[in-house]
Structure 1
Amino acid sequence: MKKIAIIGGSYLQLPIVLKAKELGYEVHCFAWRDGAVCERYVDFFYPISIIEKEEILKQCQRIAIQGIITIASDVAVMTVNYVASRMGLISNPDEYSEITTNKYLMRKCFMINNIPSPNFTIVGKSTKCSIADFKFPLIVKPTDRSGSRGVEKVKDLSSLEAAIFRAKKESFSNMAIIEEYVPGKEISVEAISYNGCHYILQITDKITTGEPYFVELEHHQPSVLSLSIQERVKKIVLNALDAMHIKYGASHSELKITEGGDICVIEIGARMGGDFIGSTLVKLSTGYDFLQGVIDIAMGGFRKPKILEQSYSGVYFLCKETEYLKTIIENRHLYPEIVKAEITNEELCEVKCSMDRSGYFIYKSDKKFTI
């Protein structure tokens, strides 16, 4: 039986664990035990932090894995590339790992390669920064986190220092990045790559809480953007993937479209989009099994993606701001479009990051499901 290693054990990695088991692989999972829901589903679980690259490499060499993967963690991407490069397995180049996981280095890469993105600067150990040529409002966020953690919109200088402190507190490296705020429609582009050839699978429309924290509340596929804008978006994303040396596996590109039609790349992850975007919505809207695609690549195989259907899919998230969704989730049997729904916390919180959300429902339909 072929062996695959999965880095990360939270609920975000569960879809890839279940798919690997379905495909008949022996699954080895590395993660802290706390919150590792995948432990009960894998063949072998190792309570090792996903940042312990050397120890994980040692174990993977002992096990003699044939592939290694993660789908929803920027931090885990670095370990995947580190282990794979030293074992001769398929992954993105280890020397470019930081570009895909550090927002400051990513911004520098975009600037050098003429990829449209916001004006930016970095804040290190102190909270001092040079923003003389910046225009308010600004966005402050950690350089190395996802899930909206530590992200805040700052309208004036008086609240900047507090936002920097909050972002740095969430950062693994105690670093924050400051960017000029780009207004407009938020989207993401879901793609899969093999040997440097990129295949765009879907464009996702996003709805967030808005300022100051911009936590995502809805995702919908396909995008309602005009075809002309979608083609421009695709061209920019393809150029950005090349610039970042993303050659294999999934990618999730986040962009904004201004009212004037300007396109700006916010960030790109060398992984699937979270919030069920990659693991669930893509297959519901296109028929393409994205999970199997990334596993096939990691295990040394590849089949060109085929879009088998054109449906609408999406997810709505429950929180204090969207408490009207609770009735829908509790009465999901009345909505044939809903394919999955769950309330994870009866107490509804006002959200400052994605971890504050209390439930969700996922739909598939012949049109966008609106409330």
Structure 2
Amino acid sequence: MKTVLFVGAGRHQRRAILQAREQGIRVVAVDRNADAIGLQAADVGEAVDFTDIDAVTEVAERHGVDGALTVSADRAVPIVAAVTERLGLPTIGTAVAHRMRNKIVMRRAFAEEGVPQPPFAAVRSLVEGRRALETVGFPCVLKPADSGGQRGIFRIESEDDLDRHLHASLVESAEQECILEGFVEGTEMNGIVIARGGKAEVVTLSDRLRPPGIGFGVGWIHVYPASTYGYQLELCEKVATRAVEVLGLRDGIAFPQIIAHPDGSVAVVEVAARIPGGQMADLVRHATGVDLVDVALRFALGEPVPDDVARPQFQQPLAIRFLTAEPGPLPTGRVTRIGSLEPVLSAEGVVQADIYLQVGETIRPVRLDGDRRGYVIAVADTNVAALDRAEAAARLLTVEVAR
């Protein structure tokens, strides 16, 4: 029996852990949170800070794992790479993990190879930030160089905005470094790319819709297929695969985010080396038949990933509506009652839905990815109809709050 190590064992990892066990794989999981729900789902769960490479390596050696991976946890990507590299297991390598984790290193690699992207500058201090504004211009986006989940991300419209938000952004960076990049208007898309033997191929491109206001970076609606079409869609696919290849990923799953500008141009926002969160694995499975968890497990164990596993088997239009506060379907305030999910699950076109709420919790305005408190996935003959179905189903959930 093969043994695989999951680095991180939260909600997103739990489902992948259970799937691995269903496939006959023994699972060892580590997470610094002893109550992480994935630890209980694994064959062996250990409360270990997964940022401690030595500690995670010791666990891997003690259990004789055949491979390691993470799902959704961006911070765990370099840890998995370091541990697998040390133990001589299938790996993307620490150099590739660093390029696909650190946004400044990533953008410099793109600049060297001519991959289209917004103007950018590295920032470690207010002086550097003000100087960078002269290059990047307004509006722009401030974000930590090495963080995810929309933590520490701000839209910058003036020097005062930079003064106000730089410290909060730097705090979210382990390396105490931020990046300023030009804000690109247009349709933002999530891409899923699978690289095999150094050749990258697009599996899906889907629209990533965002709310107005301070939570502008949070994807709260996903729609497949993408609304971009024709030559620009082809350009998006070429740029997505080129970006992955430039970063050096030879065998693995990549998550490029791309913006299609109204003038027909395309810009890469960033690329991650993992299965993304936000139900993207579910989107790919329902939309194309590709099982990203199965693909990731094969890569982790050094097993073949044939065409019938890595390439789409069909194309099913769908939409994901996340359950968020207003202007989403949820009210803000302390939760006093949660109605049944059954009316949502029974609604027309709904293929999957869940909610992450408990009585006593507080629903806040959308700011971070963690403010998404559930989701609805609906399918239809077109992506527009699928979104209508997802929106209608989301309104069937009753949540009462004390404001």
Superposition TM-score tier, normalisation by shorter sequence = over 0.9
Partner of residue 220 from structure 2, selected from 202, 217, 222? 217
Measured after TM superposition, the shift of residue 155 of structure 1 is 0.9
Gaps of 5+ in 1: none
Residue in structure 1 matched with residue 210 of structure 2 by the alignment: 208
3-state SS of the aligned residue for 2:136? coil
In structure 1, how many angstroms separate the alpha carbons of the residues matched to 2:18 and 2:380? 25
3-state SS of the aligned residue for 2:204? strand
Instruction: Write the deviation string for residues 261-295 of structure 1: whole angstroms up to 9, x where unpaired.
Output: 11000000011121011x21101000121211111
Partner of residue 196 from structure 1, selected from 174, 195, 198? 198
Measured after TM superposition, the shift of residue 108 of structure 1 is 1.0
Residue in structure 2 matched with residue 314 of structure 1 by the alignment: 319
Measured after TM superposition, the shift of residue 333 of structure 1 is 4.4
Residue in structure 1 matched with residue 397 of structure 2 by the alignment: none
**Following superposition, which runs of at least 4 residues in structure 1 exceed 6 angstroms of deviation?**
325-328
3-state SS of the aligned residue for 2:315? coil
In structure 1, how many angstroms separate the alpha carbons of the residues matched to 2:328 and 2:171? 29
- Is structure 2 residue 357 aligned with structure 1 residue 355? no
Gaps of 5+ in 2: 332-338, 392-403
CA contact (8 A) 2:126 2:163 kept: no
CA contact (8 A) 1:249 1:297 kept: yes
Residue in structure 1 matched with residue 265 of structure 2 by the alignment: 262
Cα 1:206–1:63 change in 2 (3 A) is same
In structure 2, how many angstroms separate the alpha carbons of the residues matched to 1:71 and 1:296? 14
Cα 1:237–1:306 change in 2 (3 A) is closer
In structure 1, how many angstroms separate the alpha carbons of the residues matched to 2:282 and 2:120? 33
- Is structure 2 residue 170 aligned with structure 1 residue 155? no
- Is structure 2 residue 264 aligned with structure 1 residue 249? no
Residue in structure 2 matched with residue 47 of structure 1 by the alignment: 47
In structure 2, how many angstroms separate the alpha carbons of the residues matched to 1:152 and 1:48? 32
Partner of residue 355 from structure 2, selected from 336, 340, 343? 343
CA contact (8 A) 1:207 1:218 kept: yes
3-state SS of the aligned residue for 2:248? coil
CA contact (8 A) 1:144 1:172 kept: yes
In structure 1, how many angstroms separate the alpha carbons of the residues matched to 2:37 and 2:205? 29
3-state SS of the aligned residue for 2:135? coil
CA contact (8 A) 2:141 2:182 kept: yes
In structure 1, how many angstroms separate the alpha carbons of the residues matched to 2:374 and 2:146? 26
Structure 1 letter corresponding to 2:68: I
Structure 2 letter corresponding to 1:288: V
In structure 2, how many angstroms separate the alpha carbons of the residues matched to 1:284 and 1:34? 33
CA contact (8 A) 1:150 1:353 kept: no
Cα 1:306–1:113 change in 2 (3 A) is closer
Instruction: Write the deviation string for residues 293-336 of structure 1: whole angstroms up to 9, x where unpaired.
Output: 11112112122223222112231112222443689967314413
Which residues in structure 2 correspond to 1:1-371 (within 5 Å)? 1-34=1-34, 36-124=36-124, 128-129=128-129, 130-131=131-132, 132-214=134-216, 215-277=218-280, 279-302=281-304, 303-304=306-307, 305-324=310-329, 331-345=343-357, 347-368=362-383, 369=386, 370=388, 371=391
Measured after TM superposition, the shift of residue 206 of structure 1 is 0.8
User: Over aligned residues, Cα RMSD in angstroms?
Assistant: 2.0
In structure 1, how many angstroms separate the alpha carbons of the residues matched to 2:76 and 2:274? 10
Measured after TM superposition, the shift of residue 143 of structure 1 is 1.0
In structure 2, how many angstroms separate the alpha carbons of the residues matched to 1:142 and 1:35? 28
In structure 1, how many angstroms separate the alpha carbons of the residues matched to 2:249 and 2:35? 30
Instruction: Write the deviation string for residues 76-122 of structure 1: whole angstroms up to 9, x where unpaired.
Output: 11011111112221121222321111111111111111111111112
3-state SS of the aligned residue for 2:220? strand
CA contact (8 A) 1:8 1:30 kept: yes
CA contact (8 A) 2:198 2:245 kept: yes
Moved more, 330-339 or 56-65: 330-339
Moved more, 303-312 or 141-150: 303-312
Aligned-residue sequence identity (percent) comes to 24
Structure 1 letter corresponding to 2:240: V
Residue in structure 1 matched with residue 336 of structure 2 by the alignment: none
Cα 1:270–1:333 change in 2 (3 A) is closer
Structure 2 letter corresponding to 1:119: P
Structure 1 letter corresponding to 2:272: G
Measured after TM superposition, the shift of residue 133 of structure 1 is 2.7
In structure 2, how many angstroms separate the alpha carbons of the residues matched to 1:24 and 1:38? 17
Measured after TM superposition, the shift of residue 227 of structure 1 is 3.3
3-state SS of the aligned residue for 1:216? coil
Structure 1 letter corresponding to 2:103: K
CA contact (8 A) 1:189 1:200 kept: yes
| TM-score normalised by length of structure 2 | 0.87
3-state SS of the aligned residue for 2:205? strand
In structure 2, how many angstroms separate the alpha carbons of the residues matched to 1:329 and 1:231? 39
Residue in structure 1 matched with residue 334 of structure 2 by the alignment: none
3-state SS of the aligned residue for 1:46? strand
3-state SS of the aligned residue for 2:100? helix
In structure 1, how many angstroms separate the alpha carbons of the residues matched to 2:35 and 2:263? 44
Structure 2 letter corresponding to 1:225: T
Structure 1 letter corresponding to 2:88: G
Moved more, 9-18 or 243-252: 9-18
Cα 1:52–1:343 change in 2 (3 A) is same
